[in-house]
Every structure is written in structure tokens, then in C-alpha cells.
Amino acid sequence: FFFASNAAMSFAAGGDSPLSGPINCIATMSDVDWDDRIGLQDKWTNTEKGWKVAVEWRQTPFGVGLFAAEDLKRGTVIRVGKSGLNLLQFHDAADVMTFCKQDAHNVETPVDPKRVGYVSDYLYGFNPIAENGGEAPRWFGIWIPGN
């Protein structure tokens, strides 16, 4: 499950651990093929993507799957995510549309079907204070690259 703050979240096997940072995957995503899910993973090293354990991607009958390449103990931080580095946050539908366009700077640019497919596969949302009974707008986003 996820642990979160305004600046970072970690994908963990349970328990909480200190977070450390990945590189800026978002700043270097301009020349990726959003349909090539394994090729997208190959653009950065696992450490650069924020992975704290050995993982690998394999083709399955259902598409590309992520697998741990080592035994994991409860409480192990699996991946560290930081908004603006390897987590792209969407504040509203317009942000999603901007991401889905081939050229976000041109309002007349059509959406890129590959980016739409990526968003449909990887979009998530959560309430960072739900466990404390708080009501807040959900946080929506995608991992770059996805899990």
C-alpha cells in the first residue's frame, strides 16, 4: 500500500520507512514510446525510478507484469515516489488532457492515443489523510514510468 505526504509517497510491503529520492523521470520523458511498456522501463535504471528492491518486468498472458526479484519482508520499502520527479500529479481533468496531448503547448494538438492508453492503465487516486478520518480532495496521478 502507499504511504504519503505532500511531497513523497512510497510503495511498500507494509510498515513505514524513511524515503529517499529518485531522479527526475518526468523531465526526461519527452522521447518515450508510451505503448512500449518494457522499453519505457528500460529508459531509466531501477534506482533512478525510485525502486529500493530488485524488480523485473516480464511479458504475461495479460500484458507486462512486475515481479519482485528477491524475497521481501513485511515493512520493506519497495519504491519511493516524489511528486514532480517520478509521480505526475493531476489537479483536474484539464491536467490529464494536457498530458495526453502530443504537444501540450499547442491547444489545437490532438490527443495522443498512446498517452491516453498509458493514463487509462496507470491513473490512480487516493486520499492522503483517509486513515485519520479526514476529508480532503483525492490526489490523482501516474507513476513515470508505471509499476
What are the tens digits of pLDDT across the range 125-134? 877 666 666 6
Show Cβ contacts of residue 40 under 8 Å, excluding neighbours closer than 6 positions. Answer: 32, 33, 34, 145, 146
Judged by phi (left if over 0) then psi (alpha if -120 to 50, else beta), residue 14 lies in left
| ω into 145 cis (within 30 of 0) | yes
Span 80-103, pLDDT tens digits: 988 888 888 888 888 888 888 866
Q: What is the pLDDT of residue 79?
A: 92
Could you tell me which residues are beta bridge partners of residue 1? none
Amino acid at 122: Y
DSSP 109: P
